[in-house]
Structure formats: C-alpha cells, structure tokens
Amino acid sequence: MATTSKQYKAIGEDLWKSRTDKINSELFALTYGALVVQLIQDYEDYAEVNKQLEKMGYNIGTRLIEDFLARSSLGRCSDFREVGEVAAKVGFKSFLNITPTVTHSGAPPPSSRSTSAAQQSGVPGSSFILTLDENPLAEFVELPDEALEGGLWFSNVLCGVLRGALEMVQMQVQVEFLSDVLRGDESTEIRVTLLKYLEEEVPVGDD
Amino acid sequence: MSHHLFLLSPSDTPIYSLTHYSTKLPQPTSSSLSSNLPTWSTSAFAGTLTALSGASSATQSHHVQGGSVRMGGGQDRHVIQMIANASLDIIEDVMRKESAMYLKSVDKFNEWTVSAFITPGSTHEIILLHETKNDDGIRSFFHDVWELYLKTMLNPFHTAHSPIRSTVFDTRVRASAKKYL
C-alpha cells in the first residue's frame, strides 16, 4: 500500500516545521482582508470579486505547486483519492498550518458518499470535499450584510490555488465553496471535482 | 442602577451605545429635583427639570411625579446623550494634561458621574455614565470593552466610523458589564 494517511500527516508536519520563513498570522489575515475589501470597492459586484479572487488564486497555485513538489519530493498520486489526501494533509498543512478533513466521493450517482475504493480511482466526476475547521485568511472577519446577500466567498482565493496547482500536474478540476462559516453556515467546505486528466502538451517546436 | 456606555469614533459620533441595568446593590439615590420645586413653577421649567431629574435611575423614575407623561425611556435617552456630549469638552481638556488611558470621573451631573477612557493616539473614547463609584470595576470594564473593540477593528470591512452592529460584540460587552458593573 502506498503512503498512508498517517505518513502524509507526518510529512506535512515536517514540511511546516522545516520552513524558516513564517509570517505573523494577523498580518497575513489583515493583508488578505484589505485585498478583498479593495476588490469589492473596485468591482462593486460580488460575483466579479469571487471570480477575481479565483483568478488570483490560480496564478498563485501554478507557482505554488513547484515549490510544493520540490520540498515534499512526493511522487505522482496514484488516484484522485490520494490527491485529496495529499492536498489536505501535506499541502494545506505545509502552507497554512491547517489540516482540513477530507471526504471522498465517487463518480455519479452523487448520493453515495461511501469510500469504497472501486469507484474512486480517477474517474472524471469523482470529487472530494475539504472541510476547514479554521481559516487563517478569515480571522476577525465579519461579513457585512451586502456581502452576504451578494454571495461573496471570502476565501475564494483558495479555490483558485487548488485549481492552478492541480492543473500543473495534469488534472483539470472544478473547485468551489459549498459553505462558509463567515456566511453563517455550520462549516467551511470546498469541493474539488475532477473534470478530466490533461494530456501532456508537447512544446511548440519539438518534433 | 443603570449604566450608559458610549463608544465614540474619531469624529465624535457614537458608534456603539449600551444601557446596562446592574443587578448589584443599588445605592440609595438622592431625591429627585422636582420634589424641591415649588408647585407654582411654570410647567415648561418644571418639565425640563423633571426630565433632567428623570435621568436618575430607572427605579427612581417610577416615583417622580410632576405630571410629566413624557417620563420614560425616550426622554431619559436624550438627557443621557446630552450629558455624554457635554462631557466631551471636559475630556479634551483633561486629555491634554494626563497621558493615562483611563481618566477617572471627568464630570458630574446630578448623581451621574461620567468616566472616560481614551485610546492611545486619541482616536476613540469610551464614555460611561454611572451613578456609583466603582473605579476598579469600571477600569476593568473599560479594558475589556477596549479589547473587544480592537478585535472588531481588525475586521477589514470595518472602518473607524462605521457603527458596530455585530451581535457577538454586543453579547460580549453585556457579559463584561455584568461581570464588572
């Protein structure tokens, strides 16, 4: 059996500890908060702000994955299920020092949430849900009523990061928020759905 | 025995206010002014005085006579705010002399004492109207409210002048008031 979940946890923990350049979480949260507020003032449309946050996250993700692979020296994930495990236990842990819980879900029918391995391997349509019990981006934040009505996903940058990072490892995914404690929901959940595997692109000019 | 709390923004507009009725032992309050008025005083004057004296504790207000139908929360509110505003000037004066954050009672009006707390940088003031002397409790209360306000300020959607509408903040301030006042 490949690397177990416990080992992933240990790897994530090690990576976090070995990072010497950490930043004050308040400063980080304030910076991100200022960014979101500025975007809201500029665009004045919450759907557009969500889109921009996702785009920004995408740019971050495409670069972040290189750093991640270099430091963790983990190999290719055998199936989409493992992608979820690695993302939660190693990825989130090493960058944000949080470990969201992962709930896997096979391809349709979507009603079944069982973790039977047979269905999951890499069938487009399979997905996993990350449940964040704490969100360092949203410390001290309380959404005003207009933002709640407008449908703002405050931490939407995370969705972009996941999408960008996974695209660099040949997976096209759809990432979206399902719920957010800032909005008054019970928990903060992000769903990552596999759309398809991307073929290796041959660089232009090669034969 | 009640307390009135006001949080002021840099432009001296109240961004938060709270009235708290303490369950602690009320001190015997002084008799209302209107009872000292001769019966022939003009109704307007009497009305004002009744209103002013009506700014005494809630329990007392039941006993005040004078035929003033306006007695009650609304009238009290205006007077309370007037007292609070009046004390602002005094606070400014004291501010220049003292550098401490907690200014003890800066003003007295009838039986109301005004205590103030100024944040570093003179950005915000917290004003408390109270009847009884309770320096330590009030000091701790001010610190608590100040810390709660700091957390509110960290919210990126909150500007220095926006009124505080958060229910969480409200609950916590009330709990703190219950504890210290």
Given CA atoms A115, A117, A122, A123 in this order, what sign does their dihedral have?
A: negative
Cβ distance of A141 and B166 shorter than 8 Å: no
Q: What end-to-end distance do the CA atoms of chain A give, in Å?
A: 38
Question: B123-136 burial, b for 16+ CB within 10 Å, e for fewer?
Answer: ebbbbbbbbbebee
pLDDT of residue B19: 84
Cβ distance of B154 and A144 shorter than 8 Å: no
Report the candidate in A79, A64, A76, A77 with the shortest Cα–Cα distance to residue A15. Answer: A64
Q: What is the ipTM of this complex?
A: 0.71
Cβ distance of A140 and B168 shorter than 8 Å: no
Q: pTM of the full predicted structure?
A: 0.74
Q: Give the chain B residue nearest A31 (alpha carbons).
A: B156
Mean pLDDT across the stretch A10-28?
90
Report yes or no: B167 at the A interface, CB cutoff 8 Å.
Answer: no
Q: How many CB pairs under 8 A join A and B?
A: 26
Which residues in chain A are closer than 8 Å to B154, comparing Cβ atoms?
A: 26, 29-30, 139-140
Maximum mean pLDDT: which of A59-63, B28-32, B78-82: A59-63
Residue B85 has pLDDT above 70, yes or no: yes
Maximum mean pLDDT: which of A147-156, B89-98, B120-129, B162-171: A147-156
Residue B55 has pLDDT above 80, yes or no: no
pLDDT of residue A164: 96
Q: What end-to-end distance do the CA atoms of chain B give, in Å?
A: 10
Name beta bridge partners: B7. Answer: B16, B126
Q: Reduce the secondary structure of B57-78 to three states and give it as a string.
A: CHHHHCCCCCCCCCCCHHHHHH
d(CA A160, CA A173): 10
Q: Which of A142, A182, A183 to mutate to test the interface with B (most CBs of B within 10 A)?
A: A142
d(CA A120, CA A83): 11
Cβ distance of B154 and A143 shorter than 8 Å: no
Give the range among A56-70, B41-55, B122-136 with minimum mean pLDDT.
Answer: B41-55
Mean pLDDT across the stretch A3-31?
89
Which residues in chain A are closer than 8 Å to B155, comparing Cβ atoms?
A: 33, 140-142
Cβ distance of B154 and A34 shorter than 8 Å: no
